[in-house]
């Protein structure tokens, strides 16, 4: 932990610069910048249930679980913390009673200590991959059980020694880890997480995709789905897709961060590809090859009717 906090201290000028850059680039207001530094947070007197979800995809899982808590008459105030402006808007557009959104502060020790004191959680539930050492350390120190759900680990995490050492310590502070797959479970075990604290429960992103009556076919033709894509992945996927010269099946791309649409289009040879964009309400035509679904709240529908997902 000493190495980790010393590294954060050394990198703090760069971290603050990146935070300011993100604030400007995403057109977030000054509140985004201030709250990510742990300021301007109202103290909550009653115990809360705290979910942390990095972005929109993880927020959907958190909101689905929040709805179940309300159905089961759990009356505690619910907190969802996220890292991005788009996920803040997504959470705030939900109609769940007694739910509040906060931006998660940067994982500086005293910043996180202040944040945890303010939101007063009885439990911390982290969705997927957000493992912040100071957050988990302070939860354990304050007798707040922490759980990771839909847990997974990236190759970067499991291959680099520096990350391995930090994560080994961090995972020793976690009460329970609910993994997406057996492969993810094995990765956590390799990082010295206790086997009796780990279970495989499947991918929670598909919770709401089981009942056909809950879904609408947004596309109207056969398609394959590239779900929750990251920077540079879209170009690679499209390049390989066009090599296949498929004419009867559409490629639908759902970027993880819809606000990246401009960056995605800048990478593509638009004169050579027939693309339709959902946020611009462009119709899918007979010769449309690529459909970019850059809107919120429709992933479940797209997953349900797709021929194949990757």
Residues 84 and 214 in one domain: no
Average pLDDT of the chain to the nearest whole number: 85
Of 162, 184, 205, which one is at a domain's C-terminal end? 205
Q: 249: domain CATH number?
A: 3.40.50.2000
> Same structural domain for residues 222 and 197?
no
Domain count along the chain: 2
**CATH no. for residue 13?**
3.40.50.11720
Query: Per residue in 273-287, pLDDT tens?
Result: 888 899 988 888 888
Check whether residue 83 and residue 121 sit in a common domain. Answer: yes
Distances (CA, A) of 79 to 40, 96, 119, 277: 16, 11, 8, 33
Q: Is the domain of 101 the same as that of 30?
A: yes
126 and 35 within one domain: yes
For the entire predicted model, the pTM comes to 0.71
Percent of the chain with pLDDT over 90: 26
Residues 185 and 273 both lie in one domain: no
pLDDT tens digit sequence for 291-302? 898 887 777 778
* 271, 200: one domain: no
Per-position DSSP letters for 221-249, written without gaps between them? S-EEEEEEE-TTHHHHHHHHHHHHT--SS
Range of 270's domain?
210-309
């Amino acid at each position: 932990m000493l190495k980790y906090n010393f590294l954060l201290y050394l990198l703090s000028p760069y971290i603050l610069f990146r935070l300011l850059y993100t604030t400007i680039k995403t057109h977030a207001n000054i509140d985004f910048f201030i709250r990510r530094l742990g300021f301007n947070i109202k103290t909550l007197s009653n115990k809360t249930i705290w979910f942390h979800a990095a972005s929109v995809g993880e927020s959907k899982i958190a909101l689905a679980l929040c709805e179940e808590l309300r159905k089961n008459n759990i009356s505690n105030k619910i907190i969802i913390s996220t890292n991005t402006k788009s996920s803040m808007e997504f959470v705030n557009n939900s109609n769940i009673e007694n739910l509040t959104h906060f931006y998660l502060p940067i994982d500086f020790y005293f910043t996180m200590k202040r944040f945890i004191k303010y939101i007063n959680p009885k439990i911390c539930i982290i969705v997927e991959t957000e493992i912040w050492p100071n957050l988990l350390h302070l939860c354990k120190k304050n007798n707040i059980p922490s759980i990771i759900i839909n847990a997974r680990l990236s190759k970067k995490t499991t291959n680099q020694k520096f990350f391995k050492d930090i994560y080994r310590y961090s995972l020793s502070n976690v009460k329970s880890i609910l993994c997406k797959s057996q492969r993810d479970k094995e990765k956590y075990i390799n990082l010295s997480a206790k086997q009796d604290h780990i279970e495989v429960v499947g991918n929670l992103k598909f919770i709401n995709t089981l009942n056909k009556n809950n879904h609408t076919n947004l596309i109207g033709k056969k398609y394959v789905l590239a779900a929750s894509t990251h920077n540079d992945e879209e170009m690679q996927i499209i390049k390989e897709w066009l090599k296949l010269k498929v004419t009867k099946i559409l490629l639908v791309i759902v970027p993880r961060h819809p606000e990246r649409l401009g960056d995605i289009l800048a990478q593509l040879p638009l004169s050579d590809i027939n693309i339709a964009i959902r946020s611009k309400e462009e119709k899918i035509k007979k010769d449309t090859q690529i459909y970019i679904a850059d809107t919120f709240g429709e992933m479940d529908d797209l997953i349900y009717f797709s021929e194949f997902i990757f």
